């Protein structure tokens, strides 16, 4: 029979365990023994105009900067393809475009046997006991809405047949707000009617859904929660307050723009993915207003990211959740005479790529090694202790660099657009080879804006020979396409 003193000691011990196991906010540190959750945040068309990548000092992205301070930023991260469809297909399958044949937006997933027979990332987590939920643009819209229809997800907002919540917006003037004739209507930009707030926009609704899920505390664990933010994808509409953050008279033109930049380039590079929008924007005297709109939309995106991350921070899941945030490719705002993404130069291929991994990444750490969005799938498999699909994944496990950002790393990063056009990025150089045999080489140690094409300089022949080792041995011909819906023809 226990004495009164023994009972008191036992009570105090149990109480102490409960206190140690939880903070005053209810965060359960005992959860570290369980499989980690995954918060998977995608942003569309966001280039390096963020505070953490310093692509434009006028950018205002404090929430992204805060996230970077909590984990690791990969400053030399590249997309697998500079277009939404093939970039996201590569991320979600772990398969290179050159292996799958999925090179452009209108290439199918379900009619491509290589991709359709793969274990897509949401399916992978389902198979490993995760509750998989998502909202917004995670796959390319036509792939999700018309082909996959929620494949691999237990729950999707607004539905498994529609990735983006419907907007409740209006405008003060007739469209297009830019006033430029001859541009597709989806290239427009400008502020919403003053009554419109972020709550009325698809991204505001996506962020609210994700935040509510996290704060609600009723997610089945372990979970994979994906939140896809659509902006700053065109059209660049945002509430007026975000335009007010960037007075038009203060807008500066891109530092990377040079009038004769294309003089040392020839062949396919001059026409590939080049719709001619930039010239129309400049001729209309709208270059600075268009830049302002991109900055405004980026600021709005940052607020949505802050809302999601703030909710995680307040939730009981904070201490056992991996955060990976990525943008699917970059965007050119006049560089190389482009107003688009479909190119193999730095501003089109460089992406935002941040990881916060409990007990692995160090706050405020930076890695300059060349990495790729293709690396997301194998890295998540490694960090969650889940066996990857056999003979499928072609990316690298980045946990090695997370633990030691200066570890030996002899890998380059490959980007493909259309058939047999490749960019290969090392720590110092970017090499581009096109289907017509033309080449480009840039030394980022001396030429961060890629103004001086060194491919014709014999002094760099040995560098080109080394960089060409990154060209894939197998180059799958373009796969089956799909017939775009009338709605998609109005999108970009």
Per residue, what are the HEC states of 106-119? Answer: CECCCCCHHHHCCC
What gap in Å lies between CA 45 and CA 213, rounded to an integer? 26
- Which of 222, 214, 220, 213 minimizes the C-alpha distance to 33? 222
Residue owning tokens 């050159």: 98
Output phi, psi for 132, to 5 deg. -110, 120
Catalytic residue among 133, 140, 143, 367: 140
Q: DSSP letter string over 210-221?
A: HHHHHHHT---S
Cα-Cα-Cα-Cα torsion 60, 309, 216, 155, nearest 10 degrees, comes to: 90
Q: In terms of C-beta density within 10 A (0-12 exposed, 13-18 middle, 19 or more buried), how is residue 262 classed?
A: middle
Decide if 135 contacts 157 (C-beta within 8 A). yes
**Rounded distance, CA 418 to CA 82, Å?**
10
Q: Confirm if 368 and 350 have CB atoms less than 8 A apart.
A: no
Bridging pattern class, strands 321-327 and 189-191: unpaired
Residue 356 contacts residue 74 (beta carbons within 8 Å): no
How far apart are the C-alpha atoms of 164 and 327, rounded to whole Å?
Answer: 17
Please indicate whether residue 140 is annotated as part of the active site: yes
* 84 a catalytic residue: yes
* Pair of tokens at residue 92: 């979600």
Annotated catalytic residue: which of 84, 133, 297, 367? 84
- Residues identified as active-site: 84, 140
């Amino acid at each position: 029979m226990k004495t009164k003193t023994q009972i008191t000691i036992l009570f105090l011990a149990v109480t102490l365990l409960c206190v140690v196991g939880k903070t005053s906010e209810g965060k359960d540190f005992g959860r570290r023994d369980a499989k980690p959750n995954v918060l998977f945040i995608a942003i569309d068309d966001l280039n390096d105009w963020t505070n953490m990548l310093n692509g434009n000092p006028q950018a205002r992205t404090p929430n992204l900067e805060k996230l970077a301070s909590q984990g690791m930023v990969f400053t030399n991260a590249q997309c697998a393809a500079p277009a939404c469809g093939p970039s996201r297909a590569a991320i979600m399958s772990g398969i290179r475009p050159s292996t799958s044949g999925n090179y452009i937006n209108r290439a199918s997933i379900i009619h491509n046997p290589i991709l359709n027979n793969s274990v897509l990332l949401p399916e992978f987590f389902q198979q490993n006991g995760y509750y998989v939920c998502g909202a917004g643009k995670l796959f390319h819209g036509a792939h999700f809405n018309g082909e996959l229809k929620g494949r691999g997800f237990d729950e999707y907002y607004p539905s498994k047949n529609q990735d983006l919540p419907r907007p409740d917006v209006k405008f003060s003037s007739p469209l297009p707000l830019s006033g430029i004739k001859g541009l597709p209507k989806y290239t427009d930009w400008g502020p919403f009617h003053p009554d419109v707030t972020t709550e009325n926009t698809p991204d505001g609704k996506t962020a609210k859904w994700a935040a509510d899920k996290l704060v609600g505390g009723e997610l089945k664990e372990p979970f994979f929660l994906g939140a896809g933010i659509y902006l700053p994808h065109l059209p660049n509409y945002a509430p007026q307050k975000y335009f007010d953050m960037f007075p038009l008279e203060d807008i500066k033109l891109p530092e990377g723009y040079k009038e004769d930049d294309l003089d040392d380039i020839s062949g396919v590079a001059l026409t590939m993915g080049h719709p001619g929008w930039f010239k129309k924007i400049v001729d209309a005297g709208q270059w600075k207003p268009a830049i302002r709109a991109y900055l405004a939309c980026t600021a709005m995106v940052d607020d949505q990211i802050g809302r999601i991350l703030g909710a995680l921070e307040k939730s009981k899941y904070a201490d056992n959740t991996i955060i990976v945030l990525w943008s699917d490719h970059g965007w050119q705002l006049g560089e190389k005479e482009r107003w688009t993404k479909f190119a193999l130069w730095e501003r089109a291929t460089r992406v935002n790529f941040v990881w916060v991994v409990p007990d692995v990444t160090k706050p405020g750490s930076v890695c300059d090694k060349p990495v790729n969005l293709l690396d997301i799938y194998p890295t998540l498999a490694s960090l969650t202790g889940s066996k990857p699909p056999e003979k499928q994944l072609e990316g690298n496990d980045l946990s090695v660099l997370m633990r030691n950002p200066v570890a030996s790393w002899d890998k380059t990063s490959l980007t493909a657009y259309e058939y047999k056009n490749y960019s290969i990025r090392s720590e110092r150089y970017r090499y581009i080879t096109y289907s017509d045999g033309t080449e480009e080489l840039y030394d980022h140690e001396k030429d961060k804006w890629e103004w001086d094409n060194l491919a014709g300089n014999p002094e760099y022949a040995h560098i080109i020979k080394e960089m060409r080792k990154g060209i894939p041995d197998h180059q799958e011909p373009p796969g089956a396409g799909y017939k775009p819906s009338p709605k998609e023809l109005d999108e970009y």
